[in-house]
Amino acid sequence: MSGWEDSKTSYGDPEFSVFLRRAFARHLGFDDADFHKPVIGICNTYSEVNRCHTHFPPLVEAVKRGVLMTGGIPLEFPTISLGEVFTSPTAMLYRNLAALDTEEMIRAQPLDGVVLVGGCDKTTPAQLMGAASADIPAILLTGGPMLNGEYEGRTLGACTDCRFYWQEHRAGRVSEQELEEINQALAPSAGHCMVMGSASTMAVVAEAMGMMLPGAAAVPAPDNRRLRLAEETGRQIVALVQAELRPSQIMTYDAFVNAIRILQAVGGSTNAVIHLVAIAGRLGIDLPLSLFDELGRSTPFLANLRPAGRFQMEDFAKAGGVPAVMKELEDLLQRDCITVTQHTVGENLAVYHRPRHEKYHEIIAVREEPLAENGGIAVLRGNLAPNGAVIKPKAATPQLLTHTGRAVVFDSVEDMEARIDDPDLKVVAEDVLVLRNAGPVGAPGMPEAGMLPIPKKLLVQGVRDMVRISDCRMSGTAFGTVVLHVAPEAAVGGPLALIETGDFITLDVPNRILSVALDDAQLARRRAAWQPRFDKATRGWTRLYQEHVLQADLGCDFDFLRRVSVQSAETQPNKT
């Protein structure tokens, strides 16, 4: 039955509902010959406020052509758009709102299948969360990364270089004029940020999971191959509807294992840990943080991409992109997973040949000569993070990965902003900067403030990295020895709330430890005197968010949107 006739609108008489719907569908220009055709929704996150999506109109037209060519009816509809740098206080506060919008609009409208068109950081996970819950045939199409920027012979990447050059400016090494020239070259084309930041990472893991056509994550936004991918996506969604292949059949536990392996191999964003847990949670699949660490230890690091490496997405695409990484790791992958091609991962890889030129091996290393023996994200635990925290060791200073230092504590983002450059702040390079009340509930929305600025007085002395710890996130484009997502967060009484300036904190990444030199009795005494210190919203979305958001280790989804667990590491012990 076509979506037109699958009556959902209730008037107390199902046949009348179909009659009425046909009358109104005729107003859209459709007629009897169309009423049996599959209706394909094109869930479009285009918005003029979202600069990463400026090139969506021709992409969407190409998807429509593909749908029409294969006998479907494409109907575009808008959902919330989250442009990362133009959404306050942080786009993450609205990811679940966008996911709800996506889920409900897919479910409420007469659709047989849906193409999800997104790209900026939070749109991709939101669309996958919504599609997972609605569970009708779906394919993702991301907008693709920007082309490389360039300044004075040096490749520029947004927003790794936004941060790098801003820090150098604060240190007095880059002038106002240079900064302005760099600013003009940082975002040179359509597309999302072009390093392996959160947007690129989410596109990569979505492709690895089988929800996007092979090769689609890396092709730059202005490259005409993206239009061809869009048209092919339109053709393929009609095939998926005919085959009744749903997201829940594609995004299985094994598919998430593949996604985590590729995340680790490309040194992807720590934000992907939160998003993958949230997407899986919509399908009743548990992804404990320990699984990320375990897979990271047995996954070689292959992609030499900023901020953890040298190259950018344009180069990654030339070297073969996700299929090349998957080909190198083929024996580690779950090859029986079905994908939106209607073929398995193994079948897709069997017909794929990665570009042969040796220069591409610098960008995506061959399996025999990896950049490192293990992956890009590590999970820490200890009395400071009982439910876990994450770090990107490959984007950190190696000497700081084992470090004990005196805590310098900031009670909120505002407190940190007010005091970090205070000449009277007692801080030395060996200290550990701590930011708290910046988690999902406390901030709220867990902003990307985790790469705390190095205090100016240390910058001018030449210090460029320090151990930094927080219950918030950092941009996937950021770098440094930065511990993130400490759970539980301070606002709900996690141990981070109890530490004081002067306590000694130990970071031991090789042994996966994050601890404070306080015993249980000391922590208990401080807990007895502790009071929450964050603003509670009294109305609207933020109130709903603060009342229902889960902690980072559970993906920051809402408690009432996760499905009860049906698949987990415990039920699939041999699958890693």
Q: Does 314 bind ligand FES (CB under 6 A)?
A: no
3-class state of residue 72 by DSSP? coil
Rounded to an integer, what is the distance from CA 75 to the centroid of its chain? 27
How far does the chain reach from its first CA to its final CA, in angstroms? 40
**Contacts with ligand FES in 212-231 (CB under 6 A)?**
none
**Contacts with ligand FES in 107-166 (CB under 6 A)?**
120-121
Of the pair 187, 491, the CB lying nearest ligand FES is at 187
Q: Does 84 bind ligand FES (CB under 6 A)?
A: yes
Contact by Cβ (8 Å): 434, 470: yes
Site residue total, ligand FES (CB under 6 A): 9
We find the least distance from the C-beta atom of residue 193 to ligand FES, in angstroms, to be: 3
DSSP result, 232-275: HHHHHHHHHHHHT--HHHHS-HHHHHHHHHHHHHHT--THHHHH
Of the pair 197, 309, the CB lying nearest ligand FES is at 197
Which listed range, 34-42, 192-200, 337-345, 531-539, lies at the site for ligand FES (CB under 6 A)? 192-200
In DSSP terms, 468 is beta-bridged to 433, 482
Contact by Cβ (8 Å): 212, 206: yes
Choosing from 126, 193, 195, 395, the residue that interacts with ligand FES (CB under 6 A) is: 193
We find the least distance from the C-beta atom of residue 336 to ligand FES, in angstroms, to be: 33
* Consecutive H or E run containing 182: helix 176-185
Of the pair 161, 553, the CB lying nearest ligand FES is at 161
Of the pair 195, 337, the CB lying nearest ligand FES is at 195
Choosing from 75, 199, 313, 433, the residue that interacts with ligand FES (CB under 6 A) is: 199
Residue 191 dihedral angles phi and psi, to the nearest 5° = 120, 170
Residue with tokens 């990472």: 201
Question: What is the C-alpha R_g of the chain?
Answer: 24
Residues 10 and 332: their CA atoms lie apart, in Å, by 49
CA distances from 72 to 142, 339, 418 (A): 21, 21, 57
We find the least distance from the C-beta atom of residue 1 to ligand FES, in angstroms, to be: 39
We find the least distance from the C-beta atom of residue 191 to ligand FES, in angstroms, to be: 8
Choosing from 52, 128, 396, 482, the residue that interacts with ligand FES (CB under 6 A) is: 52
We find the least distance from the C-beta atom of residue 121 to ligand FES, in angstroms, to be: 5
Of the pair 193, 514, the CB lying nearest ligand FES is at 193
We find the least distance from the C-beta atom of residue 149 to ligand FES, in angstroms, to be: 13
Of the pair 52, 390, the CB lying nearest ligand FES is at 52
Farthest-apart Cα atoms in the chain, separation: 77
Of the pair 192, 392, the CB lying nearest ligand FES is at 192
We find the least distance from the C-beta atom of residue 146 to ligand FES, in angstroms, to be: 9
Which listed range, 190-198, 267-275, 313-321, 348-356, lies at the site for ligand FES (CB under 6 A)? 190-198
Contact by Cβ (8 Å): 21, 110: yes
**Contacts with ligand FES in 547-566 (CB under 6 A)?**
none
Render the burial of 386-396: b for 16+ CB within 10 Å, e for the rest.
ebbbbbbbbbb
What angle, 0 to 180 degrees and rounded to 10, lies between the N-to-C axes of helices 289-297 and 253-266?
Answer: 60
Rounded to an integer, what is the distance from CA 289 to the centroid of its chain? 15
Helix ranges (H only) for 12-109 are 14-27, 56-69, 95-108
Q: Does 192 bind ligand FES (CB under 6 A)?
A: yes
Residue 477 dihedral angles phi and psi, to the nearest 5° = -90, -5
Residues 430 and 407: their CA atoms lie apart, in Å, by 10
Of the pair 119, 455, the CB lying nearest ligand FES is at 119
We find the least distance from the C-beta atom of residue 51 to ligand FES, in angstroms, to be: 7
Residues 140 and 136: their CA atoms lie apart, in Å, by 13
65 contact partners, CB below 8 Å, separation of at least 6: 231, 234
Residue with tokens 């040096």: 154
Of the pair 299, 475, the CB lying nearest ligand FES is at 475
We find the least distance from the C-beta atom of residue 92 to ligand FES, in angstroms, to be: 13
We find the least distance from the C-beta atom of residue 197 to ligand FES, in angstroms, to be: 6
Q: Does 473 bind ligand FES (CB under 6 A)?
A: no
Structure token pair of residue 253 = 């536990």
Choosing from 59, 85, 259, 549, the residue that interacts with ligand FES (CB under 6 A) is: 85
Q: Does 76 bind ligand FES (CB under 6 A)?
A: no
Of the pair 223, 293, the CB lying nearest ligand FES is at 223
Which listed range, 35-43, 191-199, 353-361, 462-470, lies at the site for ligand FES (CB under 6 A)? 191-199
The residue ranges that bind ligand FES (CB under 6 A) are 52, 84-85, 120-121, 192-193, 197, 199
